Structure 1
Amino acid sequence: MHDIAVLAVIWTTVFVASYLAHKTRLTPVLWYLFCGAILVNVGFLPEVLPVFIVDFAELGIIIIMFALGFEENTANFLQGIKRSWGIAFFGAITPFVIGYVVADIYWDDTNTSLFCGLAMMATAVSLTMVSLKSEGLNNTPAATGIMTSAVLDDIASLALVAILVPIAIGEASVSLEGILLVLGKAVAFFAIVTVIGGWLFPASQGFTQKIPFLGKLNLREVLAMAKGEYTVLSLLLIAVLVGLLAHEFGFHPAVGAYMAGLIIHREYFNFHNDEDKDTDKDYYQQAREIIDNVAFSWIGPVFFVALGSKLLFDLETFVSVLPEALILFVALFIGQVLSAALAARYTGYFDWPASWMIGFGMLGRAELAFVVMDIAYVQHHIMSVEAFYTLMLVTFMLNLSVPLTISWHKRHFKMENSSEIV
C-alpha cells in the first residue's frame, strides 16, 4: 500500500472515530486507539507502519503538546512543579515495583523483571492531556499537576533507562559518572529553555538589548512578519526546534514542544499598529485556533491511531497470557491511582476530587514503554514473547482506562474546588 494511501485510511478512521465519539459521548482518543487496533488486525493497516506515517505521527504529538503548552500559564506550571514532587516520586516508584515483582513471580528472570518495571514506570502525558482537553479540563490545577508530575517522571525514567538498560544487556555497570551525566543533561535542557524564554525571545528588552546583534532580536518581530502571515509557521518551527533540542538531551521531542509552548507569552502577539485596518484582530487567538485545529483534528489524531495499531492480535498467545495481563493490569491500576492520588492529596495539598483526577490521569503508558519493550524484545531478545505480549496488552488496557476514568470522574470533579489548597 502506498504511504499516502495509508494516511488516507487513517484520516478516514479519524472521521469515523470522531462520529462514534459524538454518538457515544466518549473522548475521541479512545476511539482513535480502538480503531487503530481493529484496522491493523483486519489488514487495512500494515503491521509495520511506513516511516512516513511514523514520522507524521510523531509530528502530530509534537504539535499536540505544543498546543497544550501554548494554552498553559507559565506561573501555574512552575507552581505545579513545587506541588508535584510527591506525585512524581510515588506515582513512578509504585508501578516500577509492581511491574518488577509481578514479572519476577511469572517469569523468574531478573532482566525481564527489570524491563517490565521500567516499561510501566513513566506516564503517557500526551494521552492524558488530550483526554482532559476533550472534557474541557485541560486548564485546571489537576491537569497542571499531571503535566508537571509527568515531566519529572520522564526525567527519572530516562535516567533509570540510561543507567539500568546497559547493565541488563551486559554492557555496563552502575557508575556515579553515568548517573550524574543523565541528571546533568536534564538540568542543562531546562536551563537552556529558561534562557530562551527569559532572555532570547524578548532579547530587545532588559540587559540583553545591549548585546550586539542579540539585542535586536525579539520574537514579537518574527511573529509580526508580513502582518502576521507567518505567525503559525514561526510557532510550529519553534515547537519542532525545541523538540529536537529535547531529543538531543534524551527526552521525547513532545516534552520539548510543551516547554516551547509554555515560554511563548501573549504579549508577543501585540504587533498591530494604528495604520493596520485589522487593529481589532486578535493574532494570539487566531494562532491558537489554527494550531488547535492542526493538533486535534488532522495531524494529532494520526499519533493515536498509530499507537492503537501497535496492538497485534495473536489469538493463541493472547489467550495464554490473558490471566497474567489482567492481574498485572489490576495491580497497576490500583497501585498507580492510589499512589498518585494519595501523594496529590498529602504532598501537593490538592482536594480529593482533583487528587483522584490526577490518579486517573497518571494511568497511561506510551512512548517510553514502547521504547523499553523494543530494546528488550526486538533489539536484545531479553524478554520472552509471552512477557512482550503481556506488556502490550496491559499497556493498551491502561491507555483505554485514561479517557474512560476521566470521563466518568468528570461528573464528580468540581473545577472550582480543584483550585483550593486545603
Structure 2
Amino acid sequence: MIDFTQLRKDFPILFQEVNDEPLVYLDNAATTQKPTLVLDALRHYYENDNANVHRGVHTLAERATADYENSREKIRTFINAKETAEVLFTRGTTTGLNWLSRSYGDAFVQEGDEIVISFMEHHSNIIPWQQLANRKGATLRYISITEDGFLDLEEAKKVINSKTAIVSIAHVSNVLGVVNPIKELVQLAHQNGAVMIVDGAQAVPHMKVDVQELDADFYAFSGHKMCGPTGIGVLYGKRELLEQMEPIEFGGEMIDFVNLYDSTWKELPWKFEAGTPNIAGAIALGAAIDYLSEIGMDSIHRYEQELVDYVMPKLQAIDGLTIYGPQDTKDHTGVLAFNLEGVHPHDLATALDMEGVAVRAGHHCAQPLMKYLHLPATARASFYFYNNKADADRLIFALEATKEFFKDGII
C-alpha cells in the first residue's frame, strides 16, 4: 500500500510559504513539481556524464548515450509501444503535434480533405490543424460538447466520414476534466480511413496509457506534466506511419550521409531528432518514469479520484460557484474549472494566492472552448498525487474567505 502522505516529502518545493501562508500548489495541469529523484538525475548528468550522445567513443559520451537510450526504452515500456523506434523525443506535446501537422499532414492531406478536432481542444491541438487546413485547402471540423460536458460521440459519428483524413482529440480535457472515449474515436477514424492523433498531455501523468490497446496512430505528451523537466516530451507513432514521414528539422545525428546536393537520413527514431537533443531532460524524464512506475499509475489514478470525490462536493456546496464539465465525480478528473459569481477569475486567483493557494485563471489555452461556453475565462484548480485533503480544505477555506471579502470587504 502506497502512503501518499509520505510521497509529499519527495517534493522540496512544496515546503515553503507564499504570502506568509504554507503553499498549496493546485496548478498541476499547467506543470507538475519535481521529486528529488528527478532533480538528482539532472544534476548527476551535468556533474558526471555531460557529453553529446551518439557522436563520441569516449567514456562520457558512451555513458550519456546509454542513459539517453535507456530512457527511451523506459518510455516504450511505460506506454507499451511495440519498439523504441516508435518513441521520438520532442520538446513537448506542442512540438509533437506541430511535427505531425508539418510532416504527416503536408504529405498526406489533400485539398478537399477534412480534419476533425473538438471544441474542448488546447490551442496546441487547434492551431497546427488550422494552419494545415489553410496550406492544403482542407476543411477543419469540430465535434460538439454535450450539456453535461462530454464530447458528443453521436455527433462524432456524423462528423467523421469518408472525407476525414485526420482526427486529433485530447485524451483528457485540460478545462472540463473529462476523459474522452479515445478507443471509440480510433475505431471511427480507422473505419473511415483516417489516422487518429491523441493529445495525451493531461492523461499520461494521471492514468495508465497503453498505446497498443488504444490503437492510436500517434500519441503526444509532455515530461513536465508528469514530474519530469521542462523542454522534453514524447511523440509516439506507429512504425509504418513514421517510416512514410519526412523530418521537418535537419542537422546533427538525424543525418546518415550528406552529399553536395542531397542527403539521406538515419533510421527511426533518430531521423526526427535533429541537432543536440535535450539529453539531460530525456534522462531525467526516465527518472520520473521510474518514480511514477514505482508508485503505480493505477494507484495514482485511484488516489486522485479519492481527492476528487472529497473536494468536488465541497465546491458544489459553495453558493454562487459553478463547476464546468461533468458534475458526477466518477466522470471528472482532478482538473476542476470553476467561476465564483461576481468575481473575475483573475481576481479570484489573486485572492487565493494571498492565502497561499496557487490556481490558474484565464482561458487555459482553450479560447474556442471559452467562446463555446460563453465564458471570458475560468479559475482552475488541478490536483496531483502529492496533494491531499488538507490542500482541498485550504482551497475551500480560501474560496469562502474570498467570497466574503467580495461580498462584505472583509477578509
Band of TM-score, shorter chain:
under 0.3
Question: TM-score under structure 1 normalisation?
Answer: 0.23
Question: TM-score under structure 2 normalisation?
Answer: 0.24
Structure having the higher strand fraction is: 2
Q: Which has the higher contact order (CA 8 A, sep 6+)?
A: 1
